[in-house]
Amino acid sequence: MVSSGMSPAEYAPPPIDPSSPIPWNLLREHLNFQLDRARAGLESIGKTESDYNVLRGEIRTLKNLLDLPNQAARKASITRFTPTADAP
């Protein structure tokens, strides 16, 4: 998230090299930056209902991406405790 009172317009996330693996902390920072910008867009006036719906969808998508590590952990815990067909 944007810290130290900076608006999303004043802050730019670190550049990401698309040819190399991205560390999760850089990706998370970038996603949070995009999320802050989308939320700021919701607060602006003069948009159509369609524009607001696009921003809401973008926010939902960004939140889902940020939640991927939690989703993976939940899935791992479910599969770890789910009995298999060949279990006694």
- pLDDT value for 65: 94
**Structure tokens that stand for 20 in this block:** 């190399």
Q: Which one, of 14, 8, 42, lies nearest residue 28 by Cα? A: 14
Say how many C-beta atoms besides its own lie within 10 A of residue 3's C-beta. 7
**Structure tokens that stand for 26 in this block:** 């850089």
User: Distance of alpha carbon 71 from its chain centroid, rounded?
Assistant: 13
Domain edges within the chain: 24-71
- pLDDT value for 87: 56
Q: What is the pLDDT along the chain (88 residues), one digit of tens a residue?
A: 444 555 655 667 667 677 778 788 888 999 999 999 999 999 988 999 999 999 999 999 999 999 988 888 888 787 766 566 665 5
- pLDDT value for 59: 97
